[in-house]
Structure 1
């Protein structure tokens, strides 16, 4: 990551980031940026991710941050995680949920033929885990008043993206949990939000069938272009800081303007060329789509 100005937005704060895997992951970049903005942090992931990821390297980059093994889909693990966090770090000012997984996508099963056991696992790991983290953080009195809880979402929670499959359902659940928890946490000035990020080349994102096409399309449809993992982390700093003390229950789009666009000139020109070129239309499977007379 290139050296950039830092502003001390999280100076004196403490937090934990769940789910960072390697340098490509948004959770990793959020952890590094939080540390550089002055926070003391802890890092958490499942045991398998710690074996195959670069957690020790991330810990070193973040001032030898404590690393806590936790499967966020298991009550006992989450309970133990927060007990350990409180012992090693103390009460925290932010929690970052950067967790997502779909075996159905990994195995490329069509949405109409989902394995329901895997589907339930997708919902549990990618959605319900946020509820579990917040609930056990409260039970263990780990969150300070005025804290910020942040999870990562995607626009497929609200619109259909064919190959995003059951992860779209999981992100819908994630955002619903944010809305349901919002008023309950607000009693203590704690806010909870999601960031809906552009398609990003992470280990998880790259596993989605046709991801490169999805990425290119989004980039053409975004006035400012796709946002990178680093740029997402930079934006997240404002959401974790006191600058956003009155922002809660929001799904915050960080996508170069994609979510507000109907069409862009490049996409209109591309569609026109394809629909009027029979050979090209056939090559990409659009021969049945014809321009209106």
Structure 2
């Protein structure tokens, strides 16, 4: 990993944060974890299950993660266990990055109007409610303020072909960000939805015709370039700085300007 400029290497020194959602070295969450670490923060890392652990554990070691914990938000009690461990180890928390979403194939692959209730509920549970619950658990640990991040996508605000029910879930997630920002703002807690341009991640691989979407983004974005996990990571890390303390409650696009083009 490239060493950061000495002028920025300590901008998050002394800060402690949690990153949820690293699946492998192509994950947006990994780009963010690297950036937080490069700016001097201590970063706790979660992994989904034992199958995922071998892919995530080497990455956690790369950033000297002091805590490496299992977290499947569909398993009762696991989210609470993670925050209990952080409370025991650190006693406080400065930032949390929530970068998880899931929809069963039968729900994601069909029309929104046809989605069955179980698929809808699972999609909303993982992709939206888990962030709300994470914010609830993080709040008492952010004793001196802090920052909550979650990952969205342009399909929350406009119809993107094949994004389907995930667009509905992301729209709910962005609304949750606004309400939570309003509720926690008096405590100095900022809340951000980060909306990267399309990226070739494991999560995106479940979206039909995703390669065509990547090509379209590359051709139409004003920057004429696809975003990388490093681009997303550094922009997100900036928002964790004290200098960004008055930025909150919005969806922030990191997509080379793609979202402004019809």
- TM (norm. structure 2) is 0.92
Corresponding residue number in structure 1 for 2:258: 258
Aligned residues between the structures: 259
Corresponding residue number in structure 2 for 1:47: 49
Q: Note the C-alpha offset of 1:49.
A: 5.6
Query: Tell me, what secondary structure is at the counterpart of 2:52?
Result: helix
CA distance in 2 between partners of 1:5 and 1:243 (Å): 18
Instruction: Answer yes or no: is 1:61 the counterpart of 2:62.
Output: yes
Mark the runs of 5 or more structure 2 residues left unpaired by the alignment.
none
Whether the aligned pair in 1 keeps the contact of 2:16 and 2:94 (CA below 8 Å) is yes
CA distance in 1 between partners of 2:248 and 2:89 (Å): 28
Q: List per-residue Cα deviations over 1:40-76 (Å, max 9, x = no partner).
A: 110113225634x522111111114311112224552
Q: Note the C-alpha offset of 1:3.
A: 4.5
Whether the aligned pair in 2 keeps the contact of 1:106 and 1:208 (CA below 8 Å) is no
Q: Note the C-alpha offset of 1:105.
A: 6.2
CA distance in 2 between partners of 1:128 and 1:239 (Å): 23
Q: Note the C-alpha offset of 1:222.
A: 0.4
Corresponding residue number in structure 2 for 1:71: 72
Instruction: Answer yes or no: is 1:137 the counterpart of 2:138.
Output: yes
Whether the aligned pair in 1 keeps the contact of 2:107 and 2:119 (CA below 8 Å) is no
CA distance in 2 between partners of 1:37 and 1:17 (Å): 15
Q: Note the C-alpha offset of 1:116.
A: 2.4
CA distance in 2 between partners of 1:222 and 1:49 (Å): 37
CA distance in 1 between partners of 2:76 and 2:179 (Å): 20
Residues 50 and 143 from structure 1, CA distance in 2 versus in 1: closer, same or farther, beyond 3 angstroms? farther
Corresponding residue number in structure 2 for 1:173: 172
CA distance in 2 between partners of 1:102 and 1:123 (Å): 8
Whether the aligned pair in 1 keeps the contact of 2:29 and 2:99 (CA below 8 Å) is yes
CA distance in 2 between partners of 1:9 and 1:105 (Å): 44
- TM (norm. structure 1) is 0.83
Query: Tell me, what secondary structure is at the counterpart of 2:163?
Result: helix
176-185 vs 85-94, which moves further: 85-94
Q: Note the C-alpha offset of 1:176.
A: 0.8
Larger radius of gyration: 1
Residues 81 and 161 from structure 1, CA distance in 2 versus in 1: closer, same or farther, beyond 3 angstroms? same
RMSD of aligned Cα (Å) = 1.8
Mark the runs of 5 or more structure 1 residues left unpaired by the alignment.
263-293
Between 1 and 2, higher relative CO (CA 8 Å, sep ≥ 6) is seen in: 2
Corresponding residue number in structure 1 for 2:96: 95
Instruction: Answer yes or no: is 1:9 the counterpart of 2:11.
Output: yes
Query: Tell me, what secondary structure is at the counterpart of 2:164?
Result: helix
Query: Tell me, what secondary structure is at the counterpart of 1:187?
Result: helix
Residues 212 and 107 from structure 1, CA distance in 2 versus in 1: closer, same or farther, beyond 3 angstroms? same
Corresponding residue number in structure 2 for 1:235: 235
Corresponding residue number in structure 1 for 2:123: 122
Whether the aligned pair in 2 keeps the contact of 1:104 and 1:115 (CA below 8 Å) is no
Query: Tell me, what secondary structure is at the counterpart of 1:162?
Result: coil
Corresponding residue number in structure 2 for 1:268: none
Q: Note the C-alpha offset of 1:181.
A: 0.8
